[in-house]
Amino acid sequence: MTAKQMLDQVLMELPDDLVGEVLDFARFLSVQGERATWMEFGRMHLAGAYGEEEPNYTEADIKPELSR
How much is the pLDDT for 56? Answer: 81
Digit-coded pLDDT (tens) for 16-62: 999 999 999 999 998 998 899 999 999 888 877 777 787 788 887 88
Radius of gyration of the chain (CA): 24
User: Residue 33 has what pLDDT?
Assistant: 83
What Cα–Cα distance (Å) separates residue 40 from each residue in 31, 50, 52, 60? 14, 16, 20, 30
Please compute the mean of the pLDDT values over residues 2-17 and round it to a whole number.
Answer: 95
pLDDT value, residue 67: 60
Structure pTM? 0.51
